[in-house]
């Protein structure tokens, strides 16, 4: 399995500000994704982070609000822009390999917007 | 709406007993399913997966059963231990390994 490190692990943010979350993997991976888990809820896919090109967003998520970068096969960032209390969630990075192995998750970045 | 769902939101089980967690899915074309365990304050941890060309797969103390006829998935945990207390999610591959998650079942193990 992959070792996935996310930073920050937790943060308290002021409304109207933006925060960038980093995801670092210990090996090259084919697939990287970002998920959101609102308090007490299940996980929802935000977008697929594509290496060297623009991310692919799911319905309900837009690039202006959640810009994503993926400069190489081991690193990605997710920015949560112009935050409001409704953005208080766990943001999770997940990765997969093209060999058909499964999808692994990081420990998440727990954001509280006040 | 969600294509994957769990039948019960909570499950209380006596330590040492077997646990069964159920999941229904709606997309008959889904080819890959995963079970995750999420402990409080942590990210989802992979438990076991199964592809649609299989009916059953076993791991260490866990078994996943797939019934494609009724689009039903279950996770069986043998000899449930206190460390098994967590929220369990089933996830379905929507395509390109993009996962759709069920609502989750909270398992509580009674000593």
Give the pLDDT of residue B88: 97
Give the pLDDT of residue B1: 32
User: At A86, phi and psi to the nearest 5?
Assistant: -65, -15
The answer to whether the CB atoms of A103 and B34 lie below 8 A apart is yes
Q: Is A43 on the interface with B (CB under 8 A)?
A: yes
pLDDT, average across residues B61-82: 96
Give the pLDDT of residue B64: 98
- Residues of chain A with Cβ-Cβ distance to B2 below 8 Å are 42
Give the pLDDT band of residue B96 (cuts 50, 70, 90).
confident
Give the pLDDT band of residue A102 (cuts 50, 70, 90).
confident
Pick from A1, A90, A92: CB nearest B46: A1
* Residue % of chain A over a pLDDT of 70: 98
Asked if omega into A8 is within 30° of 0 (cis), the reply is yes
Neighbours of A61 (CB within 10 A): 16
Q: Which of B93, B94, B45 is nearest to A1 (CA)?
A: B45
* More confident site: B7 or A90: A90
Strands in B72-77's sheet, in edge-to-edge order, are: B4-6, B19-25, B72-77, B62-67, B56-58
pLDDT(B69) > 80 = yes
pLDDT(B50) > 70 = yes
Give the pLDDT of residue B26: 81
Best mutation target, A23, A43, A94, to test chain B (most B CBs within 10 A) = A43
Judged by CB atoms within 8 Å, which residues 55-74 of A form the interface with B?
58
Q: Is B45 on the interface with A (CB under 8 A)?
A: yes
Q: How would you classify the pairing of strands A89-96 and A104-105?
A: antiparallel
Are B91 and B99 in contact, with CB atoms under 8 Å apart? yes
- Residues of chain B with Cβ-Cβ distance to A58 below 8 Å are 98
pLDDT, average across residues A6-23: 98
Distance from CA of A43 to the nearest CA of B (A): 6
């Amino acid at each position: 399995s992959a070792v996935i490190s996310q930073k920050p692990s937790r943060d308290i943010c002021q409304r109207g500000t933006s925060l960038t979350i980093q995801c670092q993997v210990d090996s090259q991976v084919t697939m990287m994704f970002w998920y959101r888990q609102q308090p007490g809820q299940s996980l929802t896919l935000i977008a697929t982070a594509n290496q060297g090109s623009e991310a692919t967003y799911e319905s309900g998520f837009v690039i202006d609000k959640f810009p994503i970068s993926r400069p190489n096969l081991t690193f990605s960032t997710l920015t949560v822009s112009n935050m409001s209390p409704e953005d208080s969630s766990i943001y999770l990075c997940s990765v997969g390999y093209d060999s058909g192995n499964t999808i692994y998750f990081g420990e998440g970045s727990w954001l509280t917007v006040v | 709406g969600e294509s994957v769902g769990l039948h019960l939101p909570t499950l209380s089980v006596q330590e040492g007993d077997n646990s069964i967690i159920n999941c229904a899915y709606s997309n008959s074309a889904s080819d890959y399913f995963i079970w995750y365990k999420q402990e409080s304050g942590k990210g989802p941890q992979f438990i076991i997966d199964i592809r649609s060309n299989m009916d059953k797969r076993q791991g260490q103390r866990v078994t996943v059963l797939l019934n494609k006829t009724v689009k039903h998935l279950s996770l069986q945990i043998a000899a449930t231990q206190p460390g098994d207390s967590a929220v369990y999610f089933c996830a379905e591959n929507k395509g390109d390994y993009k996962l759709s998650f069920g609502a989750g079942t909270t398992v509580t193990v009674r000593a």
